[in-house]
Amino acid sequence: MTRSPFTRRTVLASSAVLASSTALAACGGGGDEGGDTAEKIENPDENINPEGLPIVEEEITISFMSRRSNASAEDWNEVAAAQTTQELTNIEVDWGLVNEEAAIERRNLLLTSGDYPEVFYRTGVPSGDIAKYGEQGTFIPLNDLIEKYMPNLTARMEEYPALRTGLTFPDGNIYSLPGIYDPTSLGLRYQTKFWIRQDWLDQFGMATPETLEEYQAYLEEVAASIEGSIPLGGQDMGSILTSLYGTFGLANHGNDAGLIDLDADGKVRYFPASEEYRDLLSFLAGLYSKGLLQQDIFATDAAAFSANGTEGLLGSCGVQTPSGYFGKEGDNYVALKPLVRNAGDEPAWHAVRSELSSIGNFVMTDKSEHPIEIARWMDFWFGEEGAKLFFLGVEGESYEEVDGRDELIPELLEDKTVDEALKPYVLYLGGWYPGWATDDWFRGVETSEQSTEGSKVVEPYALKEVWPAFTFTAEESQQITTIGNDISKYAEESLAAFVTGDRSLDEWDDHVATFEQIGLADFVAAHQTAYERRS
């Protein structure tokens, strides 16, 4: 029997350490400011316009701590979208920019010390921390502010009920504002697709594969016919796994709830411990043993992936759009329908994102001097005018209308990537944003023509019910984070071992027993509770 270093004692010890750190952190939050903030919400300042622009008659400044991606401008107040918004709203933002490498540590230090700003913006506050600091009163509930002062966001939430479901914590409060993927924007909902080279299919005289057997036959032909090729590759293992989830009946409620779905009896399960996942690993291990799966797949990165594709070495891959990574070489790829295990099986595509793309990138603290003004400022970005500014910049400067569609001005893109061209104009670069993304104004690789066409291939077979990520109480979050970290570490190590053949799948029962030893039952039970609470 293969033994694991993870034990129940490890989990309990980790829990005790986390509990201690949680108690220490609590000392920094929930000061007297919370009452002042509530008072400001109940009794709006006369300077505030309840609707329309400007938001305030006399200019004010609001204080943020913001994660600054290296892809974005060094000073956001120099960005055209920010300058225009300040002119429209009469609100200046002290962004409190912190480089992305240091942002999480800085956020945590500020929360622990109690010396935090009005808002944490684009810092990716984890769900467990939202619950903890929400329950303590450090993060203030946004329910009333949304209802009274955020009509644009309210409209989005009414249109897409999953947003409210995923934002609401067990205490009934909403503490964070969402990132939204408009469900009509196919490239955002179906980001990862499985791609294959049409020119090589034609060269081999092969039809587009529909079954796993036909797909493997194509990979074998690539290996035999194209010198130096990598039949199936990726920038990591994740995109390959997600492209095959539907084939093996995994992630049957989409990608955003983690590695959690429902079993045949309608109960929550951690699917890497399932027989279906074992079957998936068996298929991949077979490809790896024959040299058909990239041999360094567990040690590669995005740069190597792009280089392999650009050099014309990849026969198949999972990605948003090959053209976005491989240039003209990427034009040779077409998207596959979901593969099936046996001829006659019904195809199913499970790599589907929720409309709620993220939470935790906007939270308001109990030190907010301007809660209503901030809520109205944020709501601007959830309307069409603000969303266009956020993603496209200023009309006439960075984009223009062409045949009824807003397009980036071509001169901006000369000898530049889209990100480089838009850096002086937009705020979305680097992701981690609360906002409303649609293909009407989002210009990432996900909404490119090839990505959209590929999404249309899988759309007829896509899941209809997709879960947003679950929310938990602070106590539940502490438990699942502690156990979940050990489970994830063991699962990742085991995935690599099983696929590369370092460990035999004959040991599967021992493998599942190790999950149980770590605490899988408690981990699943917490998710079952969250699922029932949401049902």
pLDDT, tens only, 25-67 = 333 444 445 568 889 999 999 999 989 999 999 999 999 999 9
Write phi, then psi, for 342 (nearest 5 degrees): -135, 145
User: Are residues 416 and 393 both part of a single domain?
Assistant: yes
At 97, the amino acid letter reads L
Exposed/middle/buried for residue 97 (C-beta within 10 Å: 0-12, 13-18, 19+): buried
Torsion of CA 374, 376, 380, 383, to 10 degrees: 140
In a domain, 408, yes or no: yes
Q: Is residue 381 left, alpha or beta, with left meaning phi > 0 and alpha meaning psi from -120 to 50? A: alpha
User: Are residues 271 and 220 both part of a single domain?
Assistant: yes
Exposed/middle/buried for residue 140 (C-beta within 10 Å: 0-12, 13-18, 19+): buried
Per the structure, how many domains does the chain have? 3
- The yes-or-no verdict on residue 18 having pLDDT over 70 is no
The chain-wide mean pLDDT, for the chain, equals 93
- The yes-or-no verdict on residue 20 having pLDDT over 50 is no
User: Are residues 267 and 330 both part of a single domain?
Assistant: yes
- The yes-or-no verdict on residue 19 having pLDDT over 60 is no
User: Are residues 255 and 330 both part of a single domain?
Assistant: yes
CA separation for the pair 451, 428 (Å, rounded): 20
Report the pLDDT value the prediction gives residue 444, as an integer from 0 to 100: 87
Nearest to 314 by CA among 300, 341, 328, 294: 294
The three-state (H, E, C) secondary structure of 208-273, written as one string: CCCEHHHHHHHHHHHHHHCCCCEEEECCCCHHHHHHHCCCCCCCCCCCCCCCEEECCCCCEEEHHH
Q: Indicate the residue among 447, 477, 499 that finishes a domain.
A: 447
Pairing status of strand 193-197 against strand 260-262: unpaired
pLDDT band at 7 (very low <50, low <70, confident <90, very high): very low
User: Are residues 175 and 223 both part of a single domain?
Assistant: no
CA separation for the pair 320, 439 (Å, rounded): 14
- DSSP structure class, residue 337: P
Mean pLDDT of 512-531: 97
Write phi, then psi, for 335 (nearest 5 degrees): -80, 145
In a domain, 171, yes or no: yes
67: tokens are 């994660």
CA separation for the pair 154, 251 (Å, rounded): 29
Q: Indicate the residue among 417, 447, 477 that finishes a domain.
A: 447
Pairing status of strand 362-364 against strand 119-121: antiparallel
The β-bridge partners of 402 are: 405
In a domain, 6, yes or no: no
Nearest to 360 by CA among 465, 471, 480: 471
pLDDT band at 16 (very low <50, low <70, confident <90, very high): very low
In this prediction, what percent of the chain has a pLDDT beyond 90? Answer: 91
- pLDDT per residue as tens digits for the range 248-265: 999 999 999 999 999 999
User: Are residues 394 and 333 both part of a single domain?
Assistant: no
- pLDDT per residue as tens digits for the range 496-518: 999 999 999 999 999 999 999 99
User: Are residues 158 and 246 both part of a single domain?
Assistant: no
User: Are residues 421 and 374 both part of a single domain?
Assistant: yes
413: tokens are 């893109």
User: Are residues 336 and 367 both part of a single domain?
Assistant: no
- The yes-or-no verdict on residue 441 having pLDDT over 50 is yes
Q: Is the peptide bond before 151 cis (omega within 30 degrees of 0)?
A: no
In a domain, 174, yes or no: yes
Mean pLDDT of 430-453: 95
User: Are residues 240 and 382 both part of a single domain?
Assistant: no
260: tokens are 């959690």
Residue with tokens 């569609």: 405
User: Do residues 355 and 181 make contact, with C-beta atoms less than 8 angstroms apart?
Assistant: yes
User: Do residues 312 and 329 make contact, with C-beta atoms less than 8 angstroms apart?
Assistant: yes
In a domain, 335, yes or no: yes
Report the pLDDT value the prediction gives residue 34, as an integer from 0 to 100: 59
Report the pLDDT value the prediction gives residue 36, as an integer from 0 to 100: 86
In a domain, 233, yes or no: yes
Report the pLDDT value the prediction gives residue 12, as an integer from 0 to 100: 35
User: Are residues 386 and 361 both part of a single domain?
Assistant: yes
Report the pLDDT value the prediction gives residue 2, as an integer from 0 to 100: 36
CA separation for the pair 498, 511 (Å, rounded): 10
In a domain, 157, yes or no: yes
H or E element that contains 420: helix 418-422
In a domain, 20, yes or no: no
294 lies in which domain range? Answer: 188-354
CA separation for the pair 150, 371 (Å, rounded): 12
- pLDDT per residue as tens digits for the range 351-362: 999 999 999 999
- The yes-or-no verdict on residue 379 having pLDDT over 70 is yes
- DSSP structure class, residue 72: S
- pLDDT per residue as tens digits for the range 289-332: 999 999 999 999 999 999 999 999 999 999 999 999 999 999 99
In this prediction, what percent of the chain has a pLDDT beyond 70? Answer: 93
* 416 vs 156, higher pLDDT: 156
User: Are residues 199 and 345 both part of a single domain?
Assistant: yes
Q: Which of 3-12, 157-166, 229-238, 378-387 has the lowest mean pLDDT?
A: 3-12
Q: Provide the CATH number for the domain around residue 270.
A: 3.40.190.10
Q: Indicate the residue among 307, 325, 354 that finishes a domain.
A: 354
pLDDT band at 472 (very low <50, low <70, confident <90, very high): very high
Nearest to 314 by CA among 240, 398, 367, 422: 240
CB within 8 Å of 449: residues ≥ 6 apart = none
CA separation for the pair 191, 352 (Å, rounded): 7
